[in-house]
């Protein structure tokens, strides 16, 4: 249990940094006039690069190699798909606005991604 708590804490700190990178990028691109899905994709690409290196090294303490990159990419695709699903419905059916909808969808993404990294992507390295 202490290892899981340590990983959750590290993931939270790295996640906060990733989310900040992602959301700042999204906001900049939103105010530059790009559509919400383009903004979301560019923002997530920036956060994703940081996530792979920081979570692999510090959260799960490995450099997982090619197999890890493939699993990480699949886990990202799953988490990002959930993010887009939530973003679509939040924009379409709520009055929260685009930026708040982005924040909500990012929360769903982060929870899904941790679970996939912990129990699948980096599982063999613990």
First to last CA, the chain: 13
What does pLDDT average to over the chain? 88
Q: How do the domains of the chain map onto residue ranges? A: 2-125
Contacts of 16-19 spanning 24+ positions with Cβ under 8 A = 17/50, 17/54, 18/47, 18/48, 18/50, 18/51, 18/54, 18/110, 19/47, 19/106, 19/110
Confidence (pLDDT) at 83: 94
Confidence (pLDDT) at 63: 62
Confidence (pLDDT) at 66: 58
pLDDT tens-digit series, residues 8-31: 899 999 988 988 999 999 999 999
Tokens 């990012």 sit on residue: 106
With CA atoms as reference, report the closest residue to 114 among 59, 44, 40, 66: 59
Angle at 44 between CA 96 and CA 12, to 5 degrees: 85
Q: What are phi and psi of 103, to 5 degrees?
A: -65, -45
Rounded to whole angstroms, the Cα distance separating 56 from 11 reads 10
Rounded to whole angstroms, the Cα distance separating 82 from 95 reads 20
């Amino acid at each position: 249990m202490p290892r899981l708590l340590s990983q959750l804490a590290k993931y939270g700190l790295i996640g906060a940094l990733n989310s900040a990178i992602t959301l700042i990028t999204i906001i900049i691109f939103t105010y530059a006039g790009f559509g919400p899905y383009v903004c979301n994709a560019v923002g997530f690409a920036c956060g994703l690069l940081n996530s792979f290196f920081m979570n692999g090294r510090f959260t799960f303490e490995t450099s997982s190699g090619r197999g890890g990159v493939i699993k990480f990419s699949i886990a990202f695709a799953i988490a990002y798909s959930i993010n887009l699903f939530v973003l679509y419905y939040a924009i379409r059916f709520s009055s929260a606005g685009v930026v708040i909808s982005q924040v909500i969808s990012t929360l769903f993404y982060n929870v899904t991604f941790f679970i996939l990294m912990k129990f699948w992507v980096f599982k063999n390295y613990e």
